[in-house]
Structure 1
């Protein structure tokens, strides 16, 4: 049985000041699927996300959202006045008054210990986990993540993408994500959309990384490096990215 899409965009186009931002873009996301939008700067990735969220209206095309769709949105970055005395808990309370919901979200993202910490006194990786916690407060069946590893070091990126995969498996939600971190994304994504105002190519990461349109945008050397990083997940991870069990078969 084929799952009905949670969200579907058909032939979306958008212009601003006679400049085409998106042209005839379509995508369809089903439950529990991780879909990642990649592409160069200015490709329209964040614009497409905002259209999917209903924040921007396209010039043409249609958008379908499932009737019971609950979306958790994580923006690229958090900009706050450093002089504002705002704790992690207080920040999350602005999105949900339920202390139990906040506690659950912080536990899922592995940062319960930061609950009382000031927001301006935590690391970049911790800040991204706070934003991810905020996205979880709506009990989403669709997580929309715009550059979730923004400002996070390489080690933190690995843990964060493992966490996103863990949340998909644990909550049963779908994930629509924008990212520049091709090495990490290609190892964790079910479907990739390569965008450059239009859809250059799409499909399974292995298929996309060998597509001429992808190679034209990112270069063969980079594609080969990404291919080396890809691996089959025959094991599971906890929220910190550590392997918790393995089932390996040796020749």
Structure 2
């Protein structure tokens, strides 16, 4: 591993998670690296457009060229490309917003967001990163992940975003078993108060889980007794169709896609 590259990445992550602006001294303290080293790395990142320096405070923040890199990643993400039509159809059918996500570490990254059909103002959530244990998308993916990966994620300290976030590994394991049985996951105000989600896993041509697709919206609409089951069926059917569009063989999910 190249140490300079690793430290440069750590700087970008610190600015992304702790920013928006940090000075050389703050970054040096966070990384445990000498200030001249951090300053040299920042100057290099600045020259490449990955960070910019605020003129008034002399502190650094993320640069505009990161947007191009992020968009390039999304453009090459086959799951996102294949999901565009299916997500729009699900949003129309459910009358709710639809997110498509992949697992990165212990978070899910939203790679596509189809707005709900109504004309109210909505915020694009592409690029949002959410702890896996707090959302239906994350639980749908982890439930069908390889056993070693699933156990490793259950063994780590779980994130807390609301009072409803689940951190008990035994309860999470129980939920994952239920997801394996039903083929879909439920989120009940675990990442944001008042919001809920219903998601199902998506598989590729190798038969491995590559992400999830799901609806998000107000808990009173998604989890109402009269709507919950119908929405779950719609999400699961869409995930099955998207999986087959990606070339997934029948039976990939062992229980949900067959």
Q: TM-score, normalised by structure 2?
A: 0.27
Greater C-alpha Rg: 2
The structure, 1 or 2, with the larger RCO (C-alpha pairs under 8 Å, 6+ apart) is: 1
Q: TM-score, normalised by structure 1?
A: 0.28
- Return the structure number with greater strand share: 1
- Return the structure number with greater helix share: 2
